[in-house]
Amino acid sequence: NAMSIGQTQDASLAYSLGQETAKIIRTLGFNMNLAPVLDICNPHVESFIGQRSFGSDADQVSSVGVALSKGLLDEAVIPTAKHFPGVGSVSGDPHKISVEYDATAETLYAKDLKPFSEFSKLGTNTAIMLSHLSYPALDPTNTPATLSAEIIKSILRKRVGFNGLIVTDDIQMKG
């Protein structure tokens, strides 16, 4: 799982995993993977993200997540980083309830958005999946990120500089 890969802090291992995953995906006839999860977990909060996170350190998550993505890209599979702008530190599950992430803008920019900023440097042949959480520090209307023009246009496109494909998570989730 991602947590195990993250604990190794070995970007070359993550890159190799990305390559091998891509080979399997292409064999099955697909050219896109809905991974990696770039959410940063909080070891003190039980989250629905769980073992899908590479860890609790933004630099580590960035390094390993981007390396895995490069492995996918080098084998002609499009990586999809998720869940922008980050959901790893919340305990509520947006599959079941509406969830608000009450972190400050400073925390979000310094920690949660960092892996997505690094991922965006991979170029336009990539995708980012939006979360269904609301982020009052980023959009005071409490509109979920999936529907927030402020988060999509002002933050993801302009501030982060992401120019690839933007996709939504499951639109039937409660969040």
Marked catalytic residue, from 83, 93, 169, 170: 169
137 three-state secondary structure: coil
Q: Among residues 39, 32, 31, which one has the least CA distance to residue 65?
A: 39
Instruction: List strand residue ranges (DSSP E) for the chain, in order.
Output: 32-33, 78-84, 127-130, 165-168
CB burial of residue 153 (10 Å; 0-12, 13-18, 19+): exposed
Question: Quick one: tokens of 80?
Answer: 């999809």
Clarify whether 95 is annotated catalytic. yes
Question: Torsion angle, CA of 150/152/153/155, rounded to 10 degrees?
Answer: 70
Clarify whether 169 is annotated catalytic. yes
CB–CB of 99/47 below 8 Å? no
Marked catalytic residue, from 10, 57, 93, 95: 95
Catalytic positions are: 95, 169
